[in-house]
């Protein structure tokens, strides 16, 4: 796991698996952690890393309910958990789903954890809306489409956008059984003005981006989603040149399979 300070109040940690990111944001004597790394040793190291950097984490935020974003409780078992209303609804509607998927991942890769994933007392936050951290506020923006739920977090005083599983420099837009192409497109359009304002954009998977590169990825992703909406059978021609490798061709095939 690597940690990068992208602002004096924002640290991004990048995990070894899938380049999963988590973002610590602080204001005064309070800090929140957005999303999580995956590996047990990364989660174990996170409290000391953030404490040394002066980030006293008291709360966890998650961008959406995919299991690989929900593991912050392993690192901070006493921290409260907040998420958008759609994510809270998904967690309620899919009891135990994240735990089962985590267990399958751990069994596949022979990973041991200190115990099962526990997600008690998740607090639903209004989206669009605000979440106070210290004396400042985070802006919460709807970001569904990749899944049926999702929230992007705008850190206005730092100019940092944490966008969940969008704008990945290494992967094309990834659909899921609960995806909506129209909602995915609406989220990309909703993120566009935030990307234009941002100093740094943090995707759910990959390195933090400056707004020029993030804007280029957003336009490529819009073109790909538009192609899927117009004619899925010919959308392969819209694969970005920088994401035209074997993995992304397979991801495109998976997207087509979900679209039927």
Q: Is the dihedral of CA 130, 131, 136, 140 positive or negative?
A: negative
Provide the residue count of the chain.
260
Instruction: Report how far residue 28's alpha carbon sits from residue 118's, in angstroms, rounded to the nearest whole number.
Output: 29
Question: pLDDT band for position 210 (50/70/90)?
Answer: very high
Under 8 Å between Cβ of 169 and 130: no
**Nearest residue to 154 (alpha-carbon basis) of 183, 196, 205, 182:** 196
3-state secondary structure 139-156: EEEECCCCCCCCEEEEEC
Q: Can you spell out the DSSP letters for 116-177?
A: ----TTPEEE-SSEEEEETTEEEEEEE--SSSS--EEEEETTTTEEE-SSSS-SSS-----T
What was the pLDDT predicted at 184?
97
> What's the pLDDT at 121?
87
For the chain, how far is it from start to end, CA to CA, in angstroms? 38
pLDDT at 51 over 90: yes
CATH class label, 2-259 = alpha beta
Residue whose C-alpha is closest to residue 153's, from 89, 204, 214: 204
What sign results for the dihedral spanned by CA atoms 194, 8, 82, 214? positive
User: Mean of the pLDDT values across residues 109-127?
Assistant: 95
- Model confidence over 15-48: pLDDT tens digits? 999 999 999 999 999 999 999 999 999 999 999 9
pLDDT band (50, 70, 90) for residue 57 = very high
At 4, the pLDDT band (50, 70, 90 cuts) reads very high
How does pLDDT run across 120-165, given as a tens digit for each residue? 889 999 999 999 999 999 999 999 999 999 999 999 999 999 999 9
All structural domains of the chain with their residue ranges: 2-259
Closest CA to 66 of 102, 30, 117: 102
Name the pTM for this structure. 0.96
At 71 the three-state DSSP class reads coil
154 and 25 in contact (C-beta within 8 Å)?
A: no
* Helix or strand (DSSP H, E) at 32: strand 30-34
Do residues 29 and 5 make contact, with C-beta atoms less than 8 angstroms apart? Answer: no
Please say if the pLDDT value at position 260 is more than 90.
no
Q: How many CB atoms sit inside 10 A of residue 51's CB?
A: 12
CB 232 within 8 A of CB 184: no
φ, ψ dihedrals at 82, nearest 5°: -125, 150
Per DSSP bridges, beta strands 57-62 and 30-34 are parallel
Mean pLDDT across the chain: 96
Instruction: Find the farthest-apart pair of alpha carbons in the chain and give their distance in angstroms, rounded.
Output: 53
């Amino acid at each position: 796991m690597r940690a990068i300070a992208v602002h004096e109040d924002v640290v991004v940690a990048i995990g070894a698996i899938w380049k999963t990111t988590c973002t610590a944001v602080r204001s005064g004597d309070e800090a929140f952690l957005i999303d999580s790394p995956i590996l047990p040793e990364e989660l174990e190291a996170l409290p000391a890393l953030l404490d040394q950097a002066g980030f006293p984490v008291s709360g966890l935020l998650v961008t959406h309910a995919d299991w690989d974003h929900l593991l912050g409780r392993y690192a901070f078992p006493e921290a409260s958990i907040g998420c958008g209303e759609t994510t809270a609804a998904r967690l309620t509607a899919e009891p135990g789903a994240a735990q089962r998927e985590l267990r399958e991942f751990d069994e596949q890769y022979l990973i041991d954890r200190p115990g099962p994933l526990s997600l008690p007392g998740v607090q639903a936050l209004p989206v669009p809306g605000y979440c106070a951290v210290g004396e400042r506020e985070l802006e919460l923006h709807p970001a569904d489409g990749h899944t049926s739920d999702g929230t992007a977090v705008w850190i206005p005083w730092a100019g940092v956008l944490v966008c969940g599983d969008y704008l990945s420099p290494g992967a094309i837009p990834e659909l899921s059984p609960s995806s909506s192409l129209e909602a995915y497109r609406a989220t990309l359009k909703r993120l566009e003005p935030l990307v234009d304002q941002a100093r740094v954009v943090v995707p759910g998977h990959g390195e933090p981006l400056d707004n020029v590169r993030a804007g280029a990825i957003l336009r490529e992703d819009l073109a790909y989603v538009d192609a899927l909406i117009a004619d899925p059978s010919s959308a392969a021609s819209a694969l970005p040149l920088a994401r035209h490798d074997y993995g992304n061709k397979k991801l495109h095939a998976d997207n087509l399979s979900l679209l039927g």
